[in-house]
Amino acid sequence: MRITSLNRYKVASAMVRGFFNGYFFGQTDARMPGRKTIEPREYKQILADNYNTLSAHFVSVIFPVLIRLNFSDGEAVAADMQKRKFSNSTSPKILLRYACGTKALYDAVVADYQRQMGSLLNGKLQPIADFFTEYDRGSEDAEEVSVDLAIRSVVRVQMLAYATGIKAANTEVQSLYQGTVYKLMIHGMMALMHEEPVSLEGDNLEMIFRRVSLNSENFETLMNEMNQAYEDLA
Q: Is the pLDDT of residue 1 over 70?
A: no
Q: Is the pLDDT of residue 234 over 80?
A: no
pTM: 0.95
Q: Is the pLDDT of residue 169 over 70?
A: yes
Q: What is the pLDDT of residue 230?
A: 92
State what percent of residues in the chain have pLDDT above 70. Answer: 100
Contact at 8 Å (CB) between 61 and 162? Answer: no
Mean pLDDT, range 193-211, rounded to an integer = 91
Domain containing residue 106: 5-233
User: What is the spatial distance between Cα 221 and Cα 152, in angstroms, rounded to a whole number?
Assistant: 7
Contact at 8 Å (CB) between 15 and 88? Answer: no
Element (H, E) at 210: helix 205-213
Note the pLDDT tens digit of each residue in 171-200: 999 899 999 999 999 999 999 999 999 998
What residues are paired with 144 via a beta bridge?
Answer: 7
Note the pLDDT tens digit of each residue in 132-154: 999 988 877 778 999 999 999 99
- The chain-wide mean pLDDT, for the chain, equals 94
- Reading phi first (left if > 0) and then psi (alpha if -120 to 50, else beta), residue 60 is in alpha
Within 10 angstroms of residue 220's Cβ, the number of other Cβ atoms is 13
Nearest to 70 by CA among 112, 9, 113: 9
Number of folded domains that form the chain: 1
Q: Is the pLDDT of residue 203 over 80?
A: no
